[in-house]
């Protein structure tokens, strides 16, 4: 199973890890633009060493309650970082954005994947993806980041998320995006209550049955804190448990802040499932 991301083909026969690289001012102590790019580059080098197949660069916070930033601000944050990682490392770079202008600037700088929590629904986003041949991650979200956790509601969360992803994938296909370039993501924590998040993970095989690779992002999220009674920096073991479970239920890509530990966890699960110990 290969994920076509421009000229790069990512082998998903074995599960892979996507490392999260936030380049928002709240993620790095602010010594200005260059200090920020330096710190981000160091973090990226560490993630590559630890075995990340993909680094997901984001310049806008999409956490619950967050407000948007302008495209120009996002571009100024992510482009220097992407350029410098691409110059030094042979790793797939993904841009975490909903804005076509940011997608275009990031891809010109060296990114080959668009990770869009809005599933390319912004005007021009699908056309950009089709024309550039990037890999895309289509994620489910109910509502929008500012208000999505106010009152999430579903009759059947798994059926509704699966129907949304199937429909958005088809819309992307009709817009000219290759099927082999599309991965799907249930969007854990994006307009979901605890019970919804747990059901989506438990029933991952139903999403994998849609026939596209599935990406799962659970790292440090609030629902782990809710279940375990743990603060933000105490959720590693919970996240590793879920990464292992996610892979065993059919996810192919795990998005995480904790690359080294997650690579070990998913490689161990893959060794058991595939029986080859590699």
Give the residue numbers marked as catalytic: 221, 255
Sheet holding 135-139, edge to edge: 182-185, 135-139, 113-116, 92-96, 54-58, 16-22, 253-256, 215-217
Q: Determine the distance from the C-alpha atom of residue 35 to the mean position of all C-alpha atoms in its chain, rounded to a whole number.
A: 25
In terms of phi and psi (left: phi > 0; alpha: psi -120 to 50; beta: otherwise), the region of 189 is left
Nearer to ligand YH5 by Cβ, of 86 and 136: the residue is 136
224 vs 193: CA distance, rounded Å: 12
* CB-closest chain residue to ligand YH5: 217
Site string for ligand YH5, 10-39 (x = CB under 6 A): ------------------------------
Distance (Å) of CA 93 to CA 65, 86, 101, 111: 27, 8, 17, 5
Q: Which is nearer to ligand YH5, 85 or 214 (CB)?
A: 214
Instruction: Give the footprint of ligand YH5 on residues 70-129 (CB under 6 A).
Output: 96, 115, 117
Q: How far apart are CA 216 and CA 71, in angstroms?
A: 26
Residue whose CB is less far from ligand YH5, 21 or 105: 21
**Does position 140 bind ligand YH5 by CB under 6 A?**
no
Instruction: Indicate whether 201 belongs to the interface with ligand YH5 (CB under 6 A).
Output: no
C-beta atoms surrounding 163 within 10 Å = 13
Beta-carbon count within 10 A of 57 CB? 28
Q: Which of 24, 27, 62, 197 binds ligand YH5 (CB under 6 A)?
A: 62
What are 228's two structure tokens? 């375990």
Q: What is the DSSP letter of 85?
A: H
Binding track, positions 160-199, relative to ligand YH5; x by CB under 6 A: -------------------------x-xxx----------
Q: How many residues at the interface with ligand YH5, by CB under 6 A?
A: 17
CB of 271 to ligand YH5, least distance (A): 25
Task: Report phi then psi at 93, rounded to 5.
Answer: -110, 135
Among 14, 63, 173, 206, binds ligand YH5 (CB under 6 A): 63
State the nearest-atom distance from the C-beta of 166 to ligand YH5, in Å.
Answer: 17
Note the residues at the interface with ligand YH5 (CB under 6 A).
62-63, 96, 115, 117, 137, 139, 185, 187-189, 215, 217, 220-222, 255
């Amino acid at each position: 199973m290969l994920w076509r991301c421009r000229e790069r083909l990512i082998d998903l026969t074995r599960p892979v890890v996507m490392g999260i690289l936030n380049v928002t001012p709240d993620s790095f102590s602010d010594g200005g633009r260059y200090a920020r790019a330096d710190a981000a580059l160091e973090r990226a080098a560490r993630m590559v060493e630890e075995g990340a197949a993909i680094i997901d660069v984001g310049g806008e916070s999409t956490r619950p309650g967050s407000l948007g930033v302008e495209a120009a601000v996002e571009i100024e944050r992510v482009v220097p970082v992407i350029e410098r990682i691409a110059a030094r490392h042979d790793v797939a770079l993904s841009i975490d954005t909903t804005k076509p202008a940011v997608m275009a600037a990031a891809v010109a700088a060296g990114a080959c994947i668009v990770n869009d929590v809005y599933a390319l629904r912004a005007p021009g986003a699908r056309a950009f993806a089709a024309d550039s041949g990037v890999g895309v991650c289509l994620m489910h979200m109910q509502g929008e980041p500012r208000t999505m956790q106010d009152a999430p509601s579903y009759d059947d969360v798994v059926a509704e998320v699966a129907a949304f992803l199937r429909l958005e994938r088809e819309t992307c296909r009709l817009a000219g995006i290759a099927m082999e370039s599309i991965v799907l993501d249930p969007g854990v924590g994006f307009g979901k209550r605890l019970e919804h998040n747990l059901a989506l993970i438990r029933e991952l095989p139903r999403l994998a049955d849609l026939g596209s690779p599935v990406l799962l992002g659970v790292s440090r999220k609030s629902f782990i804190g809710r279940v375990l009674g743990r603060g933000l920096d105490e959720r590693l073991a919970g996240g590793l448990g879920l990464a292992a479970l996610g892979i065993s239920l059919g996810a192919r890509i795990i998005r995480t802040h904790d690359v080294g530990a997650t690579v070990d966890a998913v490689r161990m699960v893959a060794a058991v499932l595939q029986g080859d110990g590699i």
